[in-house]
Structure 1
Amino acid sequence: PFAAAVGLMADPYVDAVYIGDPTISERTMAQFGYYHQTNQFLLEVAPSKSRYLKRILGTHTNRLDAASDVLRSELSRTSEMFRKDEIATIESEQTEARPVGTVTIDNEKYGRYMGEIQVTLVDLPKDEKVNTITRIIEKDQTILPLIKAGNQFTLV
């Protein structure tokens, strides 16, 4: 219901959207509330053993020069999220195929792009320069196409 409602709200010919589902889940209600208060999309990630997981959680902004295949976090490779933990290098690990909803981070093999965080919008092949960290849970993957250039999204 959340993705459908947000899609309708983006339509200039729609004045209002009413949710009439009496069985709406608490989680979906939380997504509506978060979006209404912050204008940010809330995306839940699956559990992961990646050592970089905690570093990608939080709020990101999709770059203004949006890509068609991925959401690209605007400031990820230059941000404090890596400097605060004194990470000098992101080593190559978990370089796997990247189905829709995969959260990735570019590793040392990507040179100046090391540290860039992305979320895949289409299925992408394995790339030795890109570490897979986790995936957006299936229920939230319907939200991904709604995130446009400059939109913020929060990974939890």
Structure 2
Amino acid sequence: MNEKQLRRLCGVARPACLQIEVHALCQQPRLLAAARQLAIPVIAYSPLGSKMLAEVLASKTGREYPDLLQLPVVQRIAAKHSRTPAQILLRHTLQRGVAVIPKSTDPNRIKQNISVWDFELSESEMSELGALDRGEAGRICDFSFFVGMNSHPEFPFKK
């Protein structure tokens, strides 16, 4: 979804929430601002970057998708706070006012992912993580790998 589509949808009915791709490389500040203005809570889809999807897409698109958990700034901030990189990425998204529901089947990771409420990132750390945003180039889940998707009139990620 893009901002124009969200505003058009709200002309018909206001959604209870908006689930969109939000992570360190695809932070979507304009769409988040529009959702806030329209009082629509946002839930981050793939807040840790969806490594499995990125691997599948890389083979189809030839594009390189970085592992968000391995980004040097994320690793450095994680070490400083004695946290996992995933906890840093989740906390960053939460501090931006976006809900996160990370997927995991590993009980240890599930416990780690929920243990993000007893620390905060500093303004400078938030800025460093904010600087990772690549805009549309950071998007992983644009679904353009489906044949004909790019030419669909409602495809939201047109250049």
TM-score calculated relative to the size of structure 1: 0.27
Higher helix fraction: Structure 1 or Structure 2? Answer: 2
Q: Identify the structure with the greater strand proportion.
A: 1
Which TM-score applies when normalising by structure 2?
A: 0.26
